[in-house]
Amino acid sequence: MEPQEQAHGSDGDDCSVSGFDSAEKVIMKWDATASEEAREKMIFTDPQEVKLYLHAVDEIQRHVSSPGELESRASSAIQIAMARLEDEFRNILVSHSSPINSDSLMPSSSSSSHLEVDEDASNNNEEDDQEEETDLLKRTGSSSSSGSATVRLPTGRGSYSRSTSSIREIELIPIDAVVYLSWIARRMVSAGYLRECIQVYGSVRKSAVDSSFRRLGIEKLSIGDVQRLNWEALEQKIRRWIRAAKVCVRVVFASEKLLCEHVFESVGAVNIHEACFMETVKGPAIQLFNFAEAISISRRSPEKLFKILDLHDALIELLPDIESVFDLKSSDSIRVQAAEILSRLAEAARGILSEFENAVLREPSRVPVPGGTIHPLTRYVMNYISLISEYRPTLVDLIMSKPSRNATDTNAPEMDFSEVENKGPLALHLIWIILILQFNLEGKSKYYRDAALSHLFVMNNVHYIVQKIKGSTELREMIGDLYLRKLTGKFRQAATYYQRAAWVKVLYCLRDEGLRTKGSFASGVSRSALRERFKSFNALFEEVHRVQSQWLVPDSQLREELKISILEKLSPAYRSFLGRFRSHIESGKHPENYIKITVEELETEVLDLFEGLTATQQHQRRRSE
């Protein structure tokens, strides 16, 4: 139990101090400025020396206000004693101030016992004192001079850690050391050394927190340092920060707060544990949150959105814990900083979405993609909004207003919200992004010199948009089947326009008009006109095959459907034309110069289309066949 103050002039055993002179001798014995032995040894390694010294301090403290020479001697002795206790206080803290080990960061399966403050604990049972003197972890009472509450500690080498569903307060310092620290703090505060006590405690524990930060990978970076980092490096640091912040708030800061309560709660000075807690963690807390603040005010760009949302989600999850750990008046600034960062992250997310929309609308590339395939912008935008849909729970709360078109901007499409009036703001933003993507793609399609390729490009890209929507449950739910059907109609319309532009001239060669004449033929067919017609067909079909084999339809199902649609029109027309006019060619000279391809060969040739084959690859394929 804690050493109790002895009545002045009473008799005591060898371990007690009786009288001012004896107490003064004990204090002087441990004066590190006057004794080599005192410099080399520490009092709080020997329970008996601890008891003797603290009795001496209490005895001297009783005489500080005594009249005459005794007061001067008492004041001098107290100064020496406080210097010694400050050293002992620091030594206990330092010897137990190691970073939190990784095992302590794991969730706890059960709660442990913890310190309790017992205002009514009795200092009686003096008959049992001698039996308990060697056990410093029993219930301890305050000395009569300190006037503070009794701190009740678990018996034996117990723990004072505790845990809740998210916050896990662990034992940072062994319970016997906590008892010693509490005894020393009580006497330092009673003697008027509150500031020194707080400074020593704060500096040592802050170093321990800094060590835990380093172990968690939290670097000392200013806001400027963070903003100068490239985005790839920042992404890694954000991932690390999210993991580390949870540990810092729920384990490190919470445990430091608990330790402060148990070291200083029984001291008696008002809010001393609050002051020590803030002295310890204010700097590290600011360091921790400055990183998130730097991200929240950094330059906005589309690639940052999802990490900003990750930060937002992590912080909003942590906010109740931050408010719980930093619930003191002196820690208002920490709570305010966290709330302000959360607000700025939300505003950054809204701003990035708006800037992304503008970037999609004004993406400036003018070089047509080869073969009319899917434009990189289409892939990027659809992958982007697919990711947006995965953050739907967060963004639904953040995106509160509908997208708007600048009335003076003639380079933007019209948006008729009446078609999707039942959609929320986030869904409307996604539909708006798809609309402006189509608008941009329509503009890019005009850079193709071949009208058929222009329509194929639109078909490929809108089909890709449709498939991406169908492939995401969240995205499809937000876009809705009504708008999805509209998009499906759009790419089918582009496919129809492609077929008209690409094949109308070929099919025009297979008409009867212009072949019949009142000449010498009994059949009324002009052989020369027929020969020219076959030559035109052969030349046009060969050119279409050569060119469109280099074009690309990446989606295999769409590619096959398009080929079938072409053959459904071309094969019957060519078969019928051959049936009507083959005999007129074969009855003349060199029919092989005019009928160069059979229906079956034509169908095989059409199957080569949209594979993205170069001329060399086409030649190699023919040779292999």
pLDDT in tens, 556-610: 999 999 999 999 999 999 999 999 999 888 887 888 889 999 999 999 999 989 9
pLDDT value of residue 260: 93
Does residue 493 share a domain with residue 376?
yes
pLDDT value of residue 97: 81
Ranges of the chain with pLDDT below 70: 1-18, 101-165, 268-270, 406-410, 517-523, 615-625
pLDDT value of residue 615: 63
Largest CA distance in the chain: 154
Domain with 569, as residue range(s), is 511-517+524-624
Phi, psi of 168 (to 5 degrees): -130, 105
Q: Which among 450, 467, 501 is the end of a domain? A: 501
Q: Residue 449, class by beta-carbon neighbours within 10 Å (0-12 exposed, 13-18 middle, 19+ buried)?
A: exposed
pLDDT value of residue 34: 79
Does residue 369 share a domain with residue 413?
yes
pLDDT value of residue 451: 96
Instruction: Answer whether 419's CB lies under 8 Å from 467's CB.
Output: no
Other Cβ atoms within 10 Å of 265 Cβ, number: 18
Is residue 71 one of the residues assigned to a domain? no
Does residue 344 share a domain with residue 208?
yes
pLDDT value of residue 489: 96
pLDDT value of residue 121: 33
Is residue 464 one of the residues assigned to a domain? yes
Is residue 140 one of the residues assigned to a domain? no
Does residue 615 share a domain with residue 495?
no
Helix (H, G, I), strand (E, B) or coil at 163: strand
Does residue 261 share a domain with residue 401?
no
The token duo for 195 is 């500031």
pLDDT value of residue 16: 36
Does residue 207 share a domain with residue 283?
yes
Does residue 335 share a domain with residue 230?
yes
pLDDT value of residue 239: 94
Other Cβ atoms within 10 Å of 401 Cβ, number: 10
Instruction: Answer whether 138's CB lies under 8 Å from 1's CB.
Output: yes
Does residue 585 share a domain with residue 474?
no
Is residue 88 one of the residues assigned to a domain? no
pLDDT value of residue 117: 29
**Letter string b/e over residues 336-371, b meaning 16 or more CB atoms within 10 A of that residue's CB:** ebbeebbebbbebbbebbbebbebbbebeeeebbeb
Predicted model pTM? 0.79
Does residue 467 share a domain with residue 532?
no
pLDDT value of residue 44: 93
Does residue 397 share a domain with residue 333?
no
pLDDT value of residue 420: 77
**What does the DSSP assignment read for 293-362?**
HHHHTSPP-GGGHHHHHHHHHHHHHHHHHHHHHT-SGGGHHHHHHHHHHHHHHHHHHHHHHHHHHHHHHH
pLDDT value of residue 317: 94
Does residue 309 share a domain with residue 424?
no
**How many domains in the chain?**
3
Does residue 340 share a domain with residue 372?
no
CA-CA-CA-CA torsion sign (352, 358, 364, 365): positive
pLDDT value of residue 412: 80
